[in-house]
């Protein structure tokens, strides 16, 4: 038998184990038994904490995406100027080191139509990313007509380009995507070309 845990602790352990499996096999291919094996526990335990697999996956995705979001927010907070914050945003919202994180997004978007909990989570976090950028633009007082729209377009271009890198690998290079995104953001936000290149 596994060690007896406090409810909250166990819940977190389940989410962590689910994430570890999803990282290897993908969100959609993660099963109850996989998660149990990863934890070294029985499979029945998972359903003692979650009503359905949909909710387990949603919680796992939430954890991963929220963590990445918090990391970028942190990097932005340590910058004082608005331009500095934006630079930090584009330097850190990068798929270079954790390519599997973006695969999680791909899985979430595809599964959204069939897993209600996952859809709600993915939508909430997508909006959170957009808001992070939009609010920064608003506070910077840039020459940007509609920060919300601008932010959606930048995030979407980033998603569309990243998607090619992760799903097809050969069509586009990571550095190409980074530089295109920076140029596009500069023109949309009303910054001089090169403003967003990291120091």
Partner DNA sequence: CCTGTTGTTGCGCGCCTGTCCAACACGGGA
Partner DNA sequence: TCCCGTGTTGGACAGGCGCGCAACAACAGG
Residue 110 touches DNA, criterion: CB under 7 A = no
Q: How many chain residues are in contact with a second copy, going by CB under 8 A? A: 39
Q: Select the binding partner of residue 26 from a second copy, DNA, none (C-beta < 5 to 8 A, by kind).
A: a second copy
Judged by CB under 7 A, which of 32, 83, 112, 135 binds DNA?
32
Cα 70 from Cα 194, distance rounded (Å):
26
Q: Which of 108, 112, 70 is nearest to 92 (CA)?
A: 70
Judged by CB under 7 A, which of 12, 23, 52, 119 binds DNA?
52
With the CA atoms of 52, 22, 98 and 89 taken in that order, what torsion angle do they form, in degrees rounded to the nearest 10? -10
Cα 70 from Cα 91, distance rounded (Å):
14
Residue 28 touches a second copy, criterion: CB under 8 A = yes
Cα 147 from Cα 197, distance rounded (Å):
20
Tell the smallest beta-carbon distance from residue 27 to DNA (Å).
11
Interacting residues toward DNA by CB under 7 A? 1-7, 10, 30-34, 41-48, 51-54
């Amino acid at each position: 038998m596994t060690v007896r845990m406090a409810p909250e602790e166990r819940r977190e352990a389940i989410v962590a184990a689910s994430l570890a499996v999803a990282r290897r096999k993908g969100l959609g291919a993660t099963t109850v038994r996989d998660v149990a094996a990863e934890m070294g526990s029985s499979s029945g335990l998972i359903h003692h904490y979650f009503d359905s697999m949909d909710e387990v996956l949603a919680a796992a995705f939430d954890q991963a995406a929220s963590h990445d979001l918090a990391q970028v927010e942190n990097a932005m907070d340590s910058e004082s100027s608005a331009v500095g914050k934006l630079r930090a945003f584009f330097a850190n919202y990068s798929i270079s080191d954790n390519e599997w994180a973006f695969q999680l997004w791909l899985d979430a978007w595809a599964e959204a139509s069939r897993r209600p909990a996952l859809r709600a989570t993915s939508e909430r976090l997508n909006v959170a990313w957009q808001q992070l950028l939009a609010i920064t633009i608003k506070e910077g007082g840039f020459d940007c007509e509609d920060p919300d729209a601008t932010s959606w377009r930048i995030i979407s271009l980033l998603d569309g380009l990243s998607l090619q890198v992760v799903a097809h690998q050969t069509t586009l290079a990571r550095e190409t995507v980074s530089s295109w995104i920076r140029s596009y953001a500069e023109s949309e936000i009303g910054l001089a070309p090169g403003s967003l290149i990291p120091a």
